[in-house]
Structure 1
Amino acid sequence: MNLTTGETRATLGSAEVARLKEAGALIEDPRRERPRYFDGRFLAARDLIRDQQYILTREADLGQAAGSGVASGLDVERGSAGDRVNVAAGHGVTPAGELVLLTRAIELRLADIPRAEQLSARFGLGKVPQLSLRNRSGLFVLALRPVEYTDNPIGSYPTSITGQRSVEDGDVVEATAIVLVPWQDDGAADAFNARRGRAAAAIFAGDGARGLSANVLPLAMLALANNVVVWVDEAMVRRELGADRADLPGLGYAPRALRLAHLVQHQVHLADLLLASGGRGFAAHENFPLLPSAGPIPAGMIDSGDFTQRYFPPEMAVDFSIIPEDELPALVEEALSLPPIDLEAPSATLESTSILLLAPIPRNEWRAVSSRLTTRTRTLRPAAINLVATRKPLEILQQLRIPRLPLPIDSSDPANAEWARLAALPDLWFVRRRNLAYRDDLAGEAIRLAGRETLDTISSDSPRLTALGLDVASNRVFERATPRAALEVQSLLASPRFAESPSLTAAALGELGRAETLDQAAVLRVAADLSAPGVGDGLIRLERARPDTVPSTTALTAIADGGDWRSADSAAATVRTAELSRMAGTVLRPQPLSPAEPAVTPTLTTPTPTPTPTPTPTPTPTPTPTLTTRPSASKPAGATRAAAAAAPAADSPTAGEKAATTPSGKRRKGTPAASTSEATGKAGGSRK
């Protein structure tokens, strides 16, 4: 590799250059010219300056190829006083490809920051002189701009015989200047919150931060009232490095970085408004001309008395639903591909916009909440319906009849009570829905099967529970449980987390035993409680502290009978590993695992019926199965099976003997012990 020409560059001769220029196939870049050095050439300052400019131009081109934005740091927040802001250390790249760097965090006094056009005439960031720095008010963009200056003077020798020596700056120092760029919003005299919403609409509905020079890196937008900071909004103009190149080419409404910044800016703006108003809600159009396609809403926007909403315009169709909280980010990511919601659009546009309000539910509570709701979606009516200014002629004619009062909501309905609880949650989100006819449900429908309302069909004497000494506690739970609750208990105990942990099984039986009414809802509440993050981790650590032992039946019975296992669980979750073994001996009182006994597998087994031998050639009728009661605990199941095997089968015919009754149940004629003909295989004579 030749370090002077590069690996892939070819040197052209003068004749070939002339031929290519004549054909128009040679394109020159006047910005990329560097001096050619050779022995015997006199060097001048302009030659070295051209060499430096060539390197700077190439660096800027490479910076533009990677995109612009903040690489790290450079966070902006309020300072120690009202006229001060703090800027963290970091670096980034301007849209022009220049590097900007802050080596340390600084606190700025805004009155000491000169305006961009007053700092240097070369900046060119403003055309009209602004007001004095002492009473600066309005919206401004805090930005970084790369600059350079000369320093470190040295002696200069004369270039002629009659010349004199002088002193010149010997170094060119690159630096970063902090500038305030005025945001052109026509100098509106409205409240700063309203101007903040209009600035966000202009940025996120248009082409980004318009009006800013490509030579500056914007960090945040500030609202100043006589040099006092009113609010700081980073997400309004700040973009991360390379975000504008992440989704190119794309088919979205706007680049993903712009859509994500709109969501973050909306969250910060909403939090500031709620902090200023003391948490009191408001209609969205009062402060947001433009909403992102997904975002949070203030608390209390849904009236649980009549299930009306007062956040979105009445023309919009708004539904209320639930979603697992770990699936909410994926749904928000999908909704960000849709255009933002323009609240100042005509009524016809708002009528074709659908909104879905979502209540995030923890994953461990999903089944319990779903069981209390009859449907997964509920329609919300607007609080101000039939606005006079937006009524259509047909609606006016329909109002001439006697008005009907809406039916009151039945507060005693468990589903309505659950919807009211969900509506009062403080972290509700909205997403824009597609106007597309597609189904998001499964192909099928859940059908409830009717059966006998008895517990005889549910087996609670699992061999695993008997081996753990928890058969008495499980019988006590199954005797009180309804059929559906018993099925939920079986599903809970058979889950891998509980099947592999005897102590968690005992804890579950103890919690179920303390329930006043053991129905399906109570079992789901216990399952949600025990499946919450962190619950039971300490007990599992205690079991794993001694892998060659198992918890004693005495300790498990104490937990199942209502012992305080939560204190031991929380303590074992944070205790050091060296103390786990001692703590396990106190809580679980482990006993050695007998090598002769097979390991108990956490599976629910069902008895396999023994096949009845069929006599030849006449088929033997299969006996009708009868529902038998479970043997008592005083009589072992093994002895019962042994006695049944030893008892003679008096009603079963032997080989070569004809059954006493026909398959239809009628008694046969003749002797019961008729001989069988070996030639014909028929019993007792011939048929005439």
Structure 2
Amino acid sequence: MSGDALQLEEPLKDGGIRSVNFFNGRLLTSKDLSREQQARRDWDARLGLAIGDGVAFGLEAARDADLDAPLAPVLRVKAGLAVNRAGQTLRLGMDTSVALTRRFDAGTASACDCVFANCNPLSDGTYVAGAGVYLLTIAPAQLSEGRAPTNGLDPGNVRCNTDVTVEGLQFRLLSISPQRYAGLDIASPQFRNRLAYRCFGVEAREAIVIDPWRSDPPSYGLVDDLRGTGALSDCDVPLALVFWTASGLRFVDLWSVRRRLLGPDALGAQAFVARDRRLVEAEAMCAQFQQHLGDLLAASATPASLQVKDHCRYLPPFGMVPLQSPPLRGFGDAAFFSGVPRRPVPGSGQSTPFMDGRQLGALRQIALAHAPIDLTAGEFVRVYRPSQNVQAALTGLPVQPVIVFASGLTPELAVARFDMARADFSNFSDCCGGS
């Protein structure tokens, strides 16, 4: 046995948190108190690292209708809480309007160099309008506030006689090089969808399936690439993708880069495991689609004729589509999935099958374990009508009719069940296989 090996029950000091030992008669200096503050930060950071990085709640960004202008766009960010990869918590206490054109001089408000600053310096952002994609992030910031009295014994430290240090936050806008979305046509209606799935790393996910024993990279996708090059620091938490042109904002897409808290993966060294990251990404895909769909509905004069293939190459493994029902705006059942293989087959004379609305949660959970749907692959999509939703609409209740879709790899749910089926809102088969 090597003499350098650590023995059982032998204390290990390397990497330990060093807290100042206070006792009566000890002479304390500012350095001692700073060391104690550092120990507290280290304890908090370890808890933050265990919880994981991402958005805990809030921090949704959208255009500020009252302040937004084509050449000076402004976003409204809701109050919320995030944790960055350094384990730091970032709390936005109130809804805040954020101008994407920088006029604030960060140099005039920075704390003196004697103040702790774990994430300084951060790489500078790009704030020039033009055709391009930008990443909105939230990051820590520190400011000095007030002045404290001094005894004058050490005139050299007067410059650091600040009363308090405020550990706050800042919003940053980082330019994404066009090389990172090369091959995508920014003028195409599909650009937003394809850019989002480049962030999800769909190409790397497909490669994993080809060689699952060896290919399971811990990082993939556009955001991980930005972190790998240092353009995006571990102190930043991504909030939204912003597509900005000379005429103004084209879209603000949250969930292509925004994620809920994702803790460390203890199974990360195993080949092709069902990592929590993939579940978090599947949830983000669903949220990204619903936000994109809502924006399409708001922008379209005739949403009932809109076809999803014109705007999306990829669909999430689960989604919900509102249908046109005057005076409620929505999409057309047949038109929306035009050209997409689905069950039932269009033109077969079969109507969209019913499913019990109480199964929606179960269907979503099952679907989240599946890969996104590539509309160019020719794979069919399962489409359902929640029976309770249809029944309520037929009785005149003011409900929004919807259809629900899921990956074709999910099990069939449109099955009549004894003592649960309803004659007018279920699915039956005769002896010859008809429905």
Q: TM-score, normalised by structure 2?
A: 0.66
Matches within 5 A, 1:68-217: 68-79=53-64, 80=66, 81-82=68-69, 83-112=73-102, 122-125=120-123, 130=126, 133-157=127-151, 159=153, 166-170=158-162, 171-186=164-179, 190-191=186-187, 193-204=189-200, 205=202, 207=220, 209-210=223-224, 211=226, 212-217=232-237
Cα deviation, 1:376-407, whole Å, max 9, x if unaligned, reads: xxxxxxxxxxxxxxxxxxxxxxxxxxxxxxxx
Q: Deviations over 1:26-69 (max 9, x none)?
A: 43334622333445544333222111111101101111212233
From the superposition, tell whether residues 64 and 229 of structure 1 become closer, same or farther in structure 2 (CA, over 3 Å): same
Tell me whether 1:343 sits opposite 2:328 in the alignment. Answer: no
Matching residue within 231, 248, 259 for 2:282: 259
Name the structure where strand makes up a greater proportion of residues: 2
| CA displacement at 1:144 relative to structure 2 | 1.6
Match of 1:44 among 5, 11, 29: 29
Shift of the 167–290 alpha-carbon distance from structure 1 to 2, 3 Å rule, reads same
Name the residue aligned to 1:362: 388
Structure number having the greater helix percentage: 1
In the aligned structure 2, how far is the partner of 1:277 from the partner of 1:332?
28
Alpha-carbon distance between aligned partners in 2 of 1:118 and 1:331, rounded to the nearest angstrom: 54
- State the Cα distance separating 1:19 from its structure 2 match: 9.4
How far is the alpha carbon of 1:110 from its aligned partner?
1.8
Question: Quick one: structure 1 residues 324 and 23, their matched pair in 2 at CA, closer, same or farther if it must change by over 3 Å?
Answer: closer
Aligned residue pairs: how many? 356
C-alpha spacing 1:194/1:125, structure 2 compared with 1 (3 Å): farther
Check 1:236–1:62 CA distance in 2 against 1; reply closer, same or farther (3 A cut): same
Secondary structure of the structure 1 residue equivalent to 2:283: helix
How much has 1:322 moved relative to structure 2?
2.0
Where do 1:196-275 residues align within 5 Å? 196-204=192-200, 205=202, 207=220, 209-210=223-224, 211=226, 212-226=232-246, 228-240=248-260, 242=261, 244=263, 251=274, 254-275=277-298
Larger CA deviation: 231-240 vs 76-85? 231-240
Say whether 1:66 aligns with 2:51: yes
108-117 or 149-158, larger mean C-alpha shift: 108-117
Distance 2:11 2:358 in 1: 58
1:497-550 superposed Cα distances (whole Å, 9 cap, x missing partner) = xxxxxxxxxxxxxxxxxxxxxxxx9xx79xxxxxxxxxxxxxxxxxxxxxxxxx
Aligned equivalent of 1:329, options 361, 365, 384: 361
- Give, as a single letter, the amino acid of the residue that structure 1 aligns with 2:280: A
Q: Percent identity?
A: 24
- Deviation per residue, 1:243-290 (Å, 9 max, x gap): 557998973695323212211211221232243332154554432232
Q: For the aligned residues, what is the CA RMSD?
A: 4.4
For residues 218-617 of structure 1, what are the structure 2 equivalents within 5 Å?
218-226=238-246, 228-240=248-260, 242=261, 244=263, 251=274, 254-278=277-301, 279=303, 281-296=305-320, 299-300=331-332, 302=334, 310-312=338-340, 319=345, 320-344=352-376, 350=377, 353-362=379-388, 365=391, 427-434=402-409
- 8 Å CA contact retained: 2:150, 2:161: no
Question: In 2, are the aligned partners of 1:116 and 1:123 still within 8 Å (CA)?
Answer: no
Question: Which 5+ residue runs of structure 1 have no aligned equivalent?
Answer: 1-17, 345-349, 370-424, 447-487, 489-520, 526-688
Aligned partners of 2:150 and 2:158 also within 8 Å: yes
Relative to structure 1, is the Cα distance of residues 24 and 328 closer, same or farther in structure 2, using a 3 angstrom cutoff?
A: closer
Structure 1 pair 117–253 and aligned structure 2 pair: CA distance change class (3 A) = farther
Q: Distance in 2 between matches of 1:254 and 1:137?
A: 32
- Matched to 1:108, the amino acid is V
Give the superposition deviation at 1:87: 1.6
Q: Mark the runs of 5 or more structure 2 residues left unpaired by the alignment.
A: 111-118, 206-219, 227-231, 324-330, 346-351, 426-435
Q: In structure 1, what is the equivalent of residue 229 of structure 2?
A: none
Separation in structure 2 between the aligned mates of residue 434 and residue 138 of structure 1, nearest angstrom = 36
Structure 1 324/35 Cα, relative in aligned 2: closer, same or farther at 3 Å? closer
Task: Work out which structure has the larger RCO, using CA pairs closer than 8 Å and 6 or more positions apart in sequence.
Answer: 2
Residue 22 of structure 1 and its aligned partner are, at CA, apart by 8.0
Contact 1:116 1:180 in 2 (8 A): no
Q: Quote the Cα distance in structure 2 between the aligned partners of 1:76 and 1:193.
A: 22
Work out the CA distance in 1 between the residues paired with 2:298 and 2:39: 52
Distance 2:107 2:371 in 1: 37
Kindly provide the CA deviation profile for residues 192-217 of structure 1, in whole angstroms up to 9, marking residues without a partner as x. Answer: 75332122112333646422432122
SS at match of 1:96: coil
Structure number with greater Rg is: 1
Distance 2:414 2:30 in 1: 73
Any idea what the Cα deviations from partners look like across 1:217-251, whole Å, max 9, x if unmatched? Answer: 222222222483322222223333x4557998973
